[in-house]
Amino acid sequence: MSPFQLTRTLPDDATGAALRADVLHGLTHTPKELPPKWFYDARGSELFDEITRLPEYYPTRAEREILIERASEIATATGARTLVELGSGSSEKTRHLLAALSGPVAYVPVDVSESALRGAATSLLAWRPELQVHALVADFTRGLALPGTPGPRLVAFLGGTIGNLLPAERALFLRSVRELLGPDDALLLGTDLVKDEEVLVRAYDDTAGVTAEFNRNVLRVIARELDADVDPEDFAHVALWDREREWIEMRLRARSALTVKIPELNLVVPFEEGEEVRTEVSAKFRREGVRAELADAGLTLAEWWTDRAGAFALSLARPTA
C-alpha cells in the first residue's frame, strides 16, 4: 500500500463558488463582513507564517511549548494509532504528536488546499517513511467522513482556530466532531485564553505592520479572483478587543468614501468614510467556558494543559458516556 493517499471531497470549483457566495453575502450584509479563510492564498500563508514569528504574537509559541512538553502524556492518555488533524496546513506542529505516538501510525490531515496537503505529506514522509498518510481535501466545517484507519483516533484542532467561529458555529462544529468519535477516541483542542487587553491587541496589531498586510490580503484575493476594482491601500487595519464577548475583531476601515465594483458578481458596493468590514473574530476562552461548550456537544473535558505563562491551553476531551 502506498504511504500516501489523497481523497477529494470538494467539487473542482468548490473554492471559487464559496468565495463568490461569501463575498456576495458579506458585502451586502449590514454590517459588512468577510470570512477569515480568504486571507490564505499563497501570499496570505506566507504572511501568517511571518506573523507567528513576531514578538507580539504569542499563540504559536505557547501552543508549541505545550506540545513539546505534553506530547508523550497525550500519547499515553489516548493510545492513539490514528491522528486526524483538522485544518492541517503545513502540519509543522503535528510532528511533536506524531513523534510521541507508538506503533504503526496513520495520519489524516484535512485541509481545503490540496497543494498544502501534498507538500506537508512529502515533508512528513521524508522524516518518517513508515507513516501512513490519508489526506482529505475537504471543508471540515461542512461535515466530514473519515477514512477507515485504526483506532483509537485522536482528532486535533490546533492553533486556536476554533476562536474564529462564532458561538453558534462553534456549537455546530463541536457536535459534528462528537459524531466522528467512537467511545475510545478523543479530541485535542487548542484555545487561546483571556488575558490582558494590551497583550491581545498587540498580537493582532504588530508594530511591523505584518498583520495589517495580512488583513488587507483578503482584498487582494477578491481583486485577483473576482476581478474586483478595489485598492487594498484604501483601507486601514483595525484590531479591537470586545470585552463583553471576549474576542478580538479585525476590521478593514475605509480611509475615504469609495466604491468597490465586482463585475464577476454584478455588484457595486459603496463605502462611507470610516465604514468597516469585519474580517475576523478571534474568541478567547476560559477553562469553565471550554468545559461547558464541550459538554453541550456531548464531550467531557478530561485534561487541561497550559503553557508556563498561562496564555494558551490544550484540552483533551472524550465522548460523554
Report the distance separating Cα 308 and Cα 110, nearest Å. 30
pLDDT on residue 1: 61
pLDDT on residue 171: 97
Report the distance separating Cα 236 and Cα 211, nearest Å. 11
Look up residue 132 and give its DSSP letter. Answer: E
pLDDT on residue 200: 98
Report the distance separating Cα 194 and Cα 59, nearest Å. 12
pLDDT on residue 227: 95
CB 81 within 8 A of CB 109: no
Q: Hey, what domains does the chain have and what are their CATH numbers?
A: 1-227+285-321 (3.40.50.150)
pLDDT on residue 116: 85
Residue type, 116: A
Which residue ranges of the chain lie beneath pLDDT 50?
none
pLDDT on residue 14: 82
CB 158 within 8 A of CB 187: no
Model confidence pLDDT, tens digit, residues 235-268: 999 999 999 999 999 999 999 999 999 999 999 9
CB 311 within 8 A of CB 62: yes
Which residues partner with 303 through β-bridges?
Answer: 316
Q: Quick check: helix, strand or coil at residue 55?
A: coil
